């Protein structure tokens, strides 16, 4: 019932771009399951965007961001929440991309 009211509210707002920040993978699943019911031009899953923009979750130091190590900073800040995603998930991704041969011809 609440979801119906939310979708109706979104549709009545005449928004063109919808930012969904439920956390992964919930936000992606919600968009996939509801995009056909939404009168929007674009739907974007933005994860922790609002947490960072509001300052609720601190960003990594500039030097670490330049080294593309913000994920390591986030892992140190939230080890329980990020262990599966960053340590196990990244290892799975690297294994799959390294061990899967793609023939583009």
pLDDT recorded at residue 104: 43
Contacts of 74 (CB under 8 A, 6+ apart): 60, 82, 86
Q: Kindly report the length of the chain.
A: 105
Nearest of 51, 37, 55, 45 to residue 21 by alpha carbon: 45
d(CA 102, CA 8): 43
Q: What pTM does this model have? A: 0.67
> What digits encode the pLDDT tens for the residues 12-65?
999 999 999 998 788 999 999 999 999 999 999 998 899 989 999 899 999 999
Contact (CB, 8 A) for 34 and 7: yes
pLDDT recorded at residue 100: 60
pLDDT recorded at residue 81: 83
Once rounded to an integer, what is the mean pLDDT over residues 60-73? 93
């Amino acid at each position: 019932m609440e979801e119906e009211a939310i979708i109706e509210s979104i549709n009545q707002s005449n928004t063109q771009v919808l930012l969904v920040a439920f956390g992964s993978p919930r936000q992606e699943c919600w968009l996939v399951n509801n995009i056909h019911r939404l009168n929007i031009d674009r739907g974007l899953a933005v994860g922790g965007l609002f947490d960072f923009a509001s300052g609720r979750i601190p960003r990594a130091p500039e030097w670490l961001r330049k080294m593309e190590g913000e994920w390591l900073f986030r892992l140190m800040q939230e080890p329980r929440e990020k262990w599966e995603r960053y340590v196990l998930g990244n290892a799975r991704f690297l294994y799959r991309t390294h061990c899967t041969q793609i023939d583009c011809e």
